[in-house]
């Protein structure tokens, strides 16, 4: 995740906290945190990636958005992505359309660099997260993929769309939407961000509240 370690350190320093003090503050404020000084150090030095549940705690504690914390907000994309990646060089687009023209890169092939970002995020949530599963709002046996699927279904129905229309909007097959909604197929991070962008919702919508 782009500059996550340096961001965590900067946020910690802005509050004038040592690693130990931050660990104590997190564990005191959030009963399910279980974050040690050593773990914070590994996160800041990019030696270990926090789970999604921990990222949400950190974002809440520092009062920043999850997108901002992991470095995938629009400002970060425009400021850190090499200029050559901001143009679609496909034969059908000889002059090159900027990402701004299409409101982020969800048309055409996704560049390898962006795929690496998505892959890094996917590693955070594709596994089961005990801290989330134990939430009072979800039964212990429900997998995170099932919860995400239910949220997608809830979103689709709130938009008064059938599965085919929804699938067309996000560029996939109707059968995939059905599998997502029924927890039969994991939704990768690229698709989650695509849905969030398409329908102008916060990425946190897909995950249980802390």
Tens-digit pLDDT profile for residues 94-121: 333 344 433 444 445 556 565 556 555 6
- Residue 154 scores a pLDDT above 80: yes
Task: Assess whether 150 and 181 both reside in one domain.
Answer: yes
Please give the angle made by the CA atoms of 171, 185 and 50, to the nearest 5 degrees. 95
- Residues 175-188 have a mean pLDDT of 86
Q: Which of 34-38, 43-47, 64-68 has the lowest mean pLDDT?
A: 64-68
Highest mean pLDDT of the ranges 112-116, 129-133, 189-193: 189-193
Q: Who contacts 8 (Cβ-Cβ below 8 Å, separation ≥6)?
A: 40, 43, 44, 58
Find the domain containing 106 and state its range.
76-125
* pLDDT score for 152: 95
Residue finishing a domain among 69, 96, 114: 69
- Residue 162 scores a pLDDT above 80: yes
Residue finishing a domain among 104, 125, 146: 125
Task: Give the whole-angstrom CA distance, residue 43 versus residue 84.
Answer: 30
Report percent pLDDT > 70 for the chain.
63
pTM for this one?
0.40
Who has greater pLDDT, 13 or 123? 13
Task: Assess whether 157 and 197 both reside in one domain.
Answer: yes
Q: Which of 105-114, 141-150, 178-187 has the lowest mean pLDDT?
A: 105-114
Task: Assess whether 154 and 108 both reside in one domain.
Answer: no
Residue finishing a domain among 125, 145, 164: 125
| Total of domains in the chain | 3
Which pLDDT tens digit goes with each residue over 66-92?
A: 777 776 544 433 333 333 333 333 333
Please provide residue 84's backbone torsions phi and psi, each rounded to the nearest 5 degrees: -65, -20
């Amino acid at each position: 995740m782009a500059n996550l370690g340096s961001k965590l350190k900067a946020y910690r320093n802005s509050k004038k906290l040592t690693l130990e003090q931050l660990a104590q503050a997190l564990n005191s404020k959030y009963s399910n945190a279980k974050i040690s000084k050593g773990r914070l150090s590994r996160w800041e030095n990019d030696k270990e990636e926090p789970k999604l549940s921990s990222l949400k705690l950190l974002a809440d504690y520092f009062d920043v958005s999850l997108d901002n914390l992991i470095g995938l907000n629009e400002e970060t994309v425009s400021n850190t992505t090499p200029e050559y990646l901001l143009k679609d060089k496909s034969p059908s687009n000889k002059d090159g359309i900027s990402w701004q023209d299409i409101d982020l890169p969800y048309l055409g092939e996704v560049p390898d660099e962006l795929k690496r970002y998505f892959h890094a995020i996917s590693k955070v949530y594709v596994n089961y997260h005990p801290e989330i599963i134990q939430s009072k709002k979800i039964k212990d046996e429900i997998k995170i993929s099932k919860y995400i699927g239910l949220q997608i279904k809830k979103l689709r129905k709130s938009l008064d769309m059938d599965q085919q229309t929804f699938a067309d909007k996000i560029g996939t097959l109707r059968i995939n939407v059905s599998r997502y909604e029924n927890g039969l197929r994991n939704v990768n991070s690229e698709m989650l961000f695509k849905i969030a962008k398409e329908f102008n919702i916060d990425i946190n919508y897909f995950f249980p509240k802390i």
